[in-house]
Amino acid sequence: MKDIPASWINDVVTPRPADSYKGTFGRVLVIGGNAQFGGAAIMAASGAVYAGAGLVSVATAAVNRTALHARLPEAMIIPDDDPQLLALIPTVDVVAIGPGLGTDERAARLLTQTLAAVAPQQCLIIDGSAITLIAQKHLAVAHARTLWTPHQMEWQRLAGIPISQQTPQTNQAAAANLPGTVIVKSHRTQLFTPTGSYRNPLGTPAMATGGMGDTLVGILAGFVAQFGLNDKTVCAAVYAHSAVAEEVAKRNYVVLPSMLIQALPAYMHQVAEA
Ligand SMILES: NC(=O)C1=CN([C@@H]2O[C@H](COP(=O)(O)OP(=O)(O)OC[C@H]3O[C@@H](n4cnc5c(N)ncnc54)[C@H](OP(=O)(O)O)[C@@H]3O)[C@@H](O)[C@H]2O)[C@@H](O)CC1
Ligand SMILES: Nc1ncnc2c1ncn2[C@@H]1O[C@H](COP(=O)(O)OP(=O)(O)O)[C@@H](O)[C@H]1O
Ligand SMILES: [Mg+2]
């Protein structure tokens, strides 16, 4: 397992082409946020918008509409029980499901519908409640272009490895049984792609606050939407999330997701101009 090289973020985040429009930078759909966890969907969508995704939609519980629009007018919204959602799924580059989704029957239905609707060329990010549901219900996922983003307890549920036994070796063996890339989050996050394994050398305890993983989902979605799905882009997104947090933590005891999101465009500008 090698550390993500510091140079990769510079390879990925480069100046934008002049001849471009919003469609150039990709379309993201976040599916999540029940009545209790609406904030998770807002933080994930914000991560994608502030990372530079061209168009971001959110399928969420209807009760989250006003909060989402007030907080993030750049995002479009569709109630998660709207039949149009199934038609929207194939039109985006990245579908991210799970932040604040919950684990009730309604959430399970949304998840199974989404898993069935995603097309092979799309990137699917599976996070939070969606991972817990897949583990609980033994749902099969065959989608090759999947990014899994479990925290250690979600990884225990999904892979069956107790947290105390989660080592690079055991994690790698379990990741090999899943399609796509597994990002096992911790204070030093590990990534297992079909062709390599990487460790994030960055991160700070100032990041240990609710919503920080939801924010990572959005940044991953925004990076993949703009820069494509490959090891370098995925590693760069994980690296950028922690690099921005470390920067903000130089002046702040705790880094809230909204602080990280706010600081992200300036960090990407600095990287692109370097
Ligand atoms: N503002 C919002 O809307 C927010 C909404 N959110 C949404 O909530 C949903 C549920 O997600 P969740 O992560 O909060 O709960 P769950 O999956 O039950 O895991 C917690 C259990 O695991 C244990 N645990 C052990 N090690 C751990 C580790 N390294 N990292 C984390 N946990 C660890 C932990 O142990 P304990 O801390 O109690 O000792 C506890 O028993 C999900 O959809 C998410 O997106 C959140 O993002 C918050 C902000
Ligand atoms: N002590 C820490 N050091 C470095 N990174 C941390 C630390 N605590 C949390 N993080 C990061 O914060 C994120 C937490 O994700 P997660 O537990 O899914 O949060 P949530 O579901 O509340 O959004 C992960 O990216 C993790 O690597
Ligand atoms: Mg999480």
Q: Domain holding 88: CATH number?
A: 3.40.1190.20
- 129 ligand 1 Cβ < 6 A: yes
The verdict on residue 273 lying in a domain is no
Query: What's the confidence (pLDDT) of residue 7?
Result: 98
Nearest ligand 2 atom to the CA of 214 is 23
The verdict on residue 274 lying in a domain is no
The verdict on residue 187 lying in a domain is yes
Number of structural domains found in the chain: 1
User: Span 15-22, mean pLDDT?
Assistant: 98
The verdict on residue 83 lying in a domain is yes
The verdict on residue 70 lying in a domain is yes
User: Span 146-163, mean pLDDT?
Assistant: 98
| Per-residue pLDDT tens over the stretch 82-112 | 999 999 999 999 999 999 999 999 999 999 9
* CA-wise closest residue to 234 among 272, 182, 167: 182
- 37 ligand 1 Cβ < 6 A: yes
Expressed as residue numbers, the domain containing 140 is 2-14+21-268
The verdict on residue 28 lying in a domain is yes
Cβ atoms of residues 10 and 39 within 8 Å: no
Alpha carbon of 273 to ligand 3 centroid (Å): 32
Quote the tokens at residue 138: 């033994």
- 150 ligand 1 Cβ < 6 A: no
C-alpha torsion 260→263→5→127, nearest 10: 30
Q: Where would I find the H helices in the chain?
A: 8-12, 38-51, 65-71, 85-88, 105-117, 128-137, 152-159, 168-175, 212-227, 231-249, 257-273
The verdict on residue 164 lying in a domain is yes
Task: For helices 168-175 and 152-159, give the axis angle rounded to 10 degrees.
Answer: 50
ipTM confidence score: 0.98
Reduce the DSSP state of residue 113 to 3 states and report it.
Answer: helix
Alpha carbon of 8 to ligand 1 centroid (Å): 30
* CA-wise closest residue to 55 among 43, 67, 32, 72: 72
Binding-site residues from annotation for (6S)-NADPHX: 40, 100, 151, 214
* CA-wise closest residue to 245 among 273, 192, 209, 274: 209
The two beta strands, 76-79 and 190-192, are: unpaired
- 205 ligand 2 Cβ < 6 A: yes
The verdict on residue 199 lying in a domain is yes
| Unique residue bearing structure tokens 């998840």 | 111
Nearest ligand 2 atom to the CA of 209 is 22
- 187 ligand 2 Cβ < 6 A: yes
Query: What's the confidence (pLDDT) of residue 165?
Result: 98
Q: Does the predicted TM-score (pTM) go above 0.90?
A: yes
